[in-house]
Structure 1
Amino acid sequence: MRKPLADKIRPRELKDVVGQKHILGEGKILDRILQSGCITNMIFYGPPGIGKTTVANIIAEKGNKKFYKLNATNASLKDIQEIVSSLDTFEGINGILLYLDEIQNFNKKQQQSLLEFIEDGRITLISSTTENPYHYIFKAILSRSTIFEFKPIEKEDMGFALERAVKIISEEEKSINIQLKNEAKDYIINASNGDVRKAINALEISVYSTPPDENYNIVIDLDVARDSTQVKVVSYDMLGDNHYDILSAFQKSIRGSDADASLHYLARLIKAGDLISICRRLLVIASEDIGLAYPNSITIVKSCVDTAMTLGFPEARIPLAQAVILLATSPKSNSVISAIDRALEDLEKKEVGDIPLHIKDAHYSGAKSLSRGIGYKYPHNFKNNYVKQQYLPDNIRERVYYEYGYNKMEQTSREYWNKIKNE
């Protein structure tokens, strides 16, 4: 059985790991930890295929402890109990180093079962996760671990990994000569989106699916690379951290009036097929970030969203793009969300008091005997349909929630009401 190429080229030393220089470079934190030999509890966080497992294996092998490896996807409490039982054996005298891959798949009870042994140092935990550890990992474990964020691999480092893989295959298959064209290498790198494992897998498919020519040359050109990668990998998980990162970048780009960045993140969401999240976020943005600066924006966006939901992909991309460009290029105001949040905050923090009697419901017999509605002034009976009277409860009668935004629409409204109320 042929061993996968990604496993064949897996580095055995930190210096051979591509990327992650911010934590793996000479003199950086993980390098210093390895040199000291004092291995502490660690959590490696980042997208798949960027070296978390490789680095964890390297560090684990350097520890002077009994080494165990579990994948939380298929491990159980029984597996943990078996590991714990070895603490009382001669092999476990120096403690245990447990490498737990995909720790986010362990439930709270499974994570808690490790806590007692992590606390007293009998088990040193090195775990990896593709999800935000602050969302998925038990807080007591977080507080006893150092979190390291792994980042997508840069193009230069990806190229180095592919060249190394070509060299390894060539050394194994001595009868063939592999030629990886630059345009093919660039295509594989771009299609893999920072995931080294996917790039290596694409190269492996390219090599073993391409017959050698009469001179025993296997030429990996652009066409072969395209066939081997098929569709570019887009990093997106409907329930994961990346989902919220993209939506956050999407809204912040629209809020920042950058139409090009807004369209870029829309394209990512479209590529992932996440129509519902796009539509919900656009409707929120129309009120939260544009609001009264352009009140009609929510009407237009609602029409675009309804059209997109009716059409479905791929046509839905067109009305969605229309909504995004409209919102990104519209004047901005957050006066709406600021106003309602101030009002809600008062309900949480203040004793606001009762509704003034004169504006309570008075449409029933006996209301006057309860002083309901007495003294209420009907605004439409007055000039400009306005009369000054108290509406807020006594305790907060002077409270101001809505503040006019600095845009043409709201400033025009402010000038109108200043004129009316001061007459």
Structure 2
Amino acid sequence: MTKIRPLAYRMRPSKIDDVIGQAHLLGPNKPIRKMVENKQLTSLLLFGPPGIGKTTIAQSIARDIDIPFRSLNAVTATKKDLDAIIKEAVSSDSSILLFIDEIHRFTKSTLEALLPAMEAGDIVIIGSTTNSVFHSLPSAILSRCFVFELKPLSNSEVVIGLKRALADKTNGLGIYDLEYSEDVLMFLAETTTGDMRSALNTLEAVVISNLNDDRLILTTEMVERFTEKKHLSYNGESTKYNLLSSLQKSVRGSDVDASLYYLALLLESGDLPSIHRRLLVIADEDISLGNVNVSTHVLTAVQISERVGLPEARIPLAKVVIELCLSPKTNASYKALDAAIALIKEGHSYEPPNHLKDNHYAGASRLNVKGYKYAHDYQASRIGAWVKQQYLPNELIGTQFYFPKEAGHEKTFADMYKMISHAKKSKKRS
């Protein structure tokens, strides 16, 4: 018996000209198109939702440029597999194009083993992932690659792929006598939400299971039977990244119902790691000192979610999303740090006062590293351990980065900040 290849596999384009979608990368004078035309390829990282052409683009580039092609899936490949390809590339007269699917699943040390071969031009990599590469890959790899986001296919683009498969008598379904309307194909495209692979394989399943003497009139009812459990349903061209953003903005806006809606959409995708990361960020970016316990609560919910998995993971996540929504909001803490970072990037990097420098070495006193007042040896009314002394560099005396908000728990910190600021300005010596 010969191998049974899915329709999506059989219909995979063999050259860039046949790839559907991604006009921002493959259209005239666009980046990947120009690389192929000039046969000058550099390492690439492609990220975006599944079924939109990441693997297809990599294979098409290899054929169009006529470069040896090797492929690994980081979920199943080992360091030994990678080392074998590196060894082959180093000893080869030609560069090798290595496609790494799910590249974010490789460890940092495994990926960094590629660096010497990449530097020497022995290997050019194309990595693909559904995750944002900026959060999941080491900087040493990112700095050596061009990063491109692939967009979800529109429904009309998916329909083009479906029609191509229905007409193809060699690799597609063109050998059958099939009748269909534009509405049926559009319905299939909508229910598979821009995932060409899912759409093609669903089409084949519908056709094969309903054929009668190699004839069939396709109906939406037939399609519905195979799409009862729909994939994550995005509106229009939205992706999970849009939904994660919408979730955070709804929490920030204290809209419980909207937040739960976007959480539900994200949970339907099954991508728990992305949800977990975003909730942890929200806790400290948008609530922060407004509810000092919420970060711990989110972390606990995430750990429970990881432990129990779906569908039960939704229970702790729903609870903590509601708490995030209804907690007082403040971004004063991270805004304060950003202000300090911005000042440093503008060139304002100065020496700390001598009395704050490390004095645990011989000769510190000769360098005038002395005079530090240990705060716990002093007491200030209502403040506790505090003593008046200079902490900022001379050039930044009086600079304020932190502007507290009187929201939730931060009101207590705001009151303390005001008391300390008043004590600093007092002429009374400690």
Alpha-carbon distance change, 147 to 327 in structure 1, aligned in 2, over 3 angstroms: closer
What is the alpha-carbon distance in structure 1 between the residues aligned to residue 378 and residue 228 of structure 2? Answer: 71
Between stretches 391-400 and 66-75, larger displacement belongs to 391-400
Alpha-carbon distance change, 86 to 124 in structure 1, aligned in 2, over 3 angstroms: closer
What is the alpha-carbon distance in structure 2 between the residues aligned to residue 286 and residue 69 of structure 1? Answer: 39
2:75 matches 1:77: no
Between stretches 316-325 and 260-269, larger displacement belongs to 316-325
Structure-2 residue corresponding to 1:268: 265
Kindly state the Cα deviation for residue 6 of structure 1 after the two structures are TM-superposed.
Answer: 0.6
What is the alpha-carbon distance in structure 2 between the residues aligned to residue 67 and residue 274 of structure 1? Answer: 30
Counterparts in 2 of 1:219-230, with a 5 A limit? 219-230=217-228
Counterparts in 2 of 1:133-152, with a 5 A limit? 133-152=133-152
Kindly state the Cα deviation for residue 243 of structure 1 after the two structures are TM-superposed.
Answer: 8.1
SS of structure 1 residue aligned to 2:111: helix
What is the alpha-carbon distance in structure 1 between the residues aligned to residue 217 and residue 173 of structure 2? Answer: 14
What is the alpha-carbon distance in structure 2 between the residues aligned to residue 230 and residue 95 of structure 1? Answer: 46
Matched-pair contact (CA < 8 Å) for 2:373–2:387: yes
Structure-1 residue corresponding to 2:249: 252
Kindly state the Cα deviation for residue 30 of structure 1 after the two structures are TM-superposed.
Answer: 0.8
Structure-1 residue corresponding to 2:16: 14
What is the alpha-carbon distance in structure 1 between the residues aligned to residue 278 and residue 17 of structure 2? Answer: 43
Structure-1 residue corresponding to 2:203: 203
Counterparts in 2 of 1:22-37, with a 5 A limit? 22-37=24-39
Structure-1 residue corresponding to 2:97: 97
Structure-2 residue corresponding to 1:115: 115
Structure-1 residue corresponding to 2:388: 394
SS of structure 1 residue aligned to 2:178: strand
What is the alpha-carbon distance in structure 1 between the residues aligned to residue 215 and residue 249 of structure 2? Answer: 50
What is the alpha-carbon distance in structure 2 between the residues aligned to residue 279 and residue 32 of structure 1? Answer: 38
Matched-pair contact (CA < 8 Å) for 1:176–1:212: no
Please identify the structure whose Cα radius of gyration is greater: 1
Counterparts in 2 of 1:157-196, with a 5 A limit? 157-168=157-168, 176-196=176-196
SS of structure 1 residue aligned to 2:94: coil
Q: What amino acid does structure 2 have at the position aligned with 1:355?
A: A
What is the alpha-carbon distance in structure 1 between the residues aligned to residue 247 and residue 324 of structure 2? Answer: 11
Q: Report percent identity of matched pairs.
A: 36
**Residues 234-287 of structure 1 deviation map (CA, whole Å, 9 limit, x = unaligned):** 399xxxxx9887555412222145667534312224435789998998799689
What is the alpha-carbon distance in structure 2 between the residues aligned to residue 59 and residue 276 of structure 1? Answer: 31
**Residues 299-342 of structure 1 deviation map (CA, whole Å, 9 limit, x = unaligned):** xx99xx9xx99xx9989989987986897699854457778999
SS of structure 2 residue aligned to 1:69: strand
SS of structure 1 residue aligned to 2:35: helix
SS of structure 2 residue aligned to 1:126: strand
Equivalences, count: 367
Matched-pair contact (CA < 8 Å) for 1:170–1:176: no
Gaps of 5+ in 1: 237-241, 344-348, 360-375, 380-388
Kindly state the Cα deviation for residue 169 of structure 1 after the two structures are TM-superposed.
Answer: 5.8
Structure-2 residue corresponding to 1:362: none
Q: What amino acid does structure 2 have at the position aligned with 1:267?
A: A
Alpha-carbon distance change, 235 to 113 in structure 1, aligned in 2, over 3 angstroms: farther
Alpha-carbon distance change, 172 to 156 in structure 1, aligned in 2, over 3 angstroms: closer
Kindly state the Cα deviation for residue 223 of structure 1 after the two structures are TM-superposed.
Answer: 2.0
Matched-pair contact (CA < 8 Å) for 1:37–1:63: yes
Structure-2 residue corresponding to 1:346: none
SS of structure 2 residue aligned to 1:395: coil
What's the TM-score once normalised by structure 2's chain length? 0.65
What is the alpha-carbon distance in structure 2 between the residues aligned to residue 247 and residue 188 of structure 1? Answer: 25
Matched-pair contact (CA < 8 Å) for 1:332–1:407: yes
SS of structure 2 residue aligned to 1:33: helix
Structure-1 residue corresponding to 2:344: none
Kindly state the Cα deviation for residue 203 of structure 1 after the two structures are TM-superposed.
Answer: 0.9
SS of structure 1 residue aligned to 2:179: strand
Q: What amino acid does structure 1 have at the position aligned with 2:44?
A: M
Structure-2 residue corresponding to 1:47: 49
Matched-pair contact (CA < 8 Å) for 2:167–2:173: no
Kindly state the Cα deviation for residue 50 of structure 1 after the two structures are TM-superposed.
Answer: 0.9
Q: What amino acid does structure 1 have at the position aligned with 2:113?
A: S
Structure-2 residue corresponding to 1:384: none
Root-mean-square deviation (CA, aligned residues, Å) is 5.0
What is the alpha-carbon distance in structure 2 between the residues aligned to residue 145 and residue 399 of structure 1? Answer: 40
What is the alpha-carbon distance in structure 1 between the residues aligned to residue 280 and residue 140 of structure 2? Answer: 38
**Residues 343-387 of structure 1 deviation map (CA, whole Å, 9 limit, x = unaligned):** 9xxxxx89595336564xxxxxxxxxxxxxxxx76x8xxxxxxxx
